[in-house]
Amino acid sequence: LGHDDRVTTLTFVRSPPWLHVCVTGSADKTVRAWDSESSSCMSCLRDQHQLEVVAVASSAAMGPLILSVDKGGVLVAWDFASSSSRSACPMKMPATCMASTGARTAAVGYANGVILLLDVTTISILHKLVGHDGDVQSLDWAPPPPAAAAAQAQPSGTDHEELPELASAGRDRTIRVWNARVGTSKQVLKPKAAPGEAKNRGWLACKWHPQEKDSLISGGSNGDVWWWNVKSKRAQKGTGKQLPSRSVFSFALGRLAGDEEEKLKMVCVSMDRTIALWDMQDSLTCRWLLPCLGGYVYDIDRCPSDPARVVLAVGDQTIRTWQTNSREPHDCQLLWRGLQAKVICVRWHPDEDGTVAFGTDDGRVGMCDVMSQKHRILAGRHAGSVYEL
Indicate the residue type of 223: G
> 57: how many CB neighbours lie within 10 A of its CB?
26
* Nearest-angstrom CA–CA distance, 172 and 207: 17
The pLDDT tens digits for 289-315 are 999 988 899 999 999 999 899 999 999
Q: Do the strands 75-79 and 65-70 form a parallel or antiparallel pair, or are they unpaired?
A: antiparallel
pLDDT at 154: 53
Q: Residue 263's Cα: distance from chain center in Å?
A: 23
Please state, for a pLDDT cut of 90, what percent of the chain lies above it: 66
Element (H, E) at 8: strand 7-12
The pLDDT tens digits for 343-364 are 999 999 999 888 999 999 999 9
* Nearest-angstrom CA–CA distance, 261 and 202: 36
Question: What pTM value is reported for the model?
Answer: 0.85
Segment 259-265 mean pLDDT: 77
Segment 164-170 mean pLDDT: 95
pLDDT of residue 132 exceeding 90, the answer is yes
pLDDT of residue 258 exceeding 80, the answer is no
Segment 151-177 mean pLDDT: 75
DSSP calls for 258-324: T-TT---EEEEEETTSEEEEEEESSSEEEEEEEE--SS-EEEEEEETTEEEEEEEEETTTEEEEEET
Which residues are registered as beta bridge partners of 119? 105, 124
pLDDT at 70: 96
> Exposure pattern of 129-145 as b/e (b: 16+ CB <10 Å)?
bebbebbbbbbbbbbbe
271 neighbors 245 (Cβ within 8 angstroms): no
pLDDT at 2: 86
- The residue with greater pLDDT, 146 or 129, is 129
In 3D, which of 358, 320, 356 has the Cα closest to residue 341?
358
In 3D, which of 55, 63, 152 has the Cα closest to residue 102?
152
Segment 128-152 mean pLDDT: 82
Torsions phi, psi of 194, nearest 5? Answer: -75, 150
Segment 73-102 mean pLDDT: 92
Element (H, E) at 332: strand 332-335
pLDDT at 158: 44
Residues near 329 by Cβ (< 8 Å), separated by ≥ 6? none
pLDDT of residue 340 exceeding 60, the answer is yes
Residues near 29 by Cβ (< 8 Å), separated by ≥ 6? 46, 49, 50, 51, 52, 53, 70
The pLDDT tens digits for 144-155 are 765 555 555 555
In 3D, which of 164, 147, 269 has the Cα closest to residue 213?
164
* Nearest-angstrom CA–CA distance, 358 and 320: 12
Segment 383-387 mean pLDDT: 94
- The residue with greater pLDDT, 137 or 260, is 137
pLDDT of residue 6 exceeding 90, the answer is yes
pLDDT of residue 160 exceeding 60, the answer is no
pLDDT at 201: 62
Across the chain, mean pLDDT equals 89
Label residue 139 by pLDDT band (50, 70, 90). very high
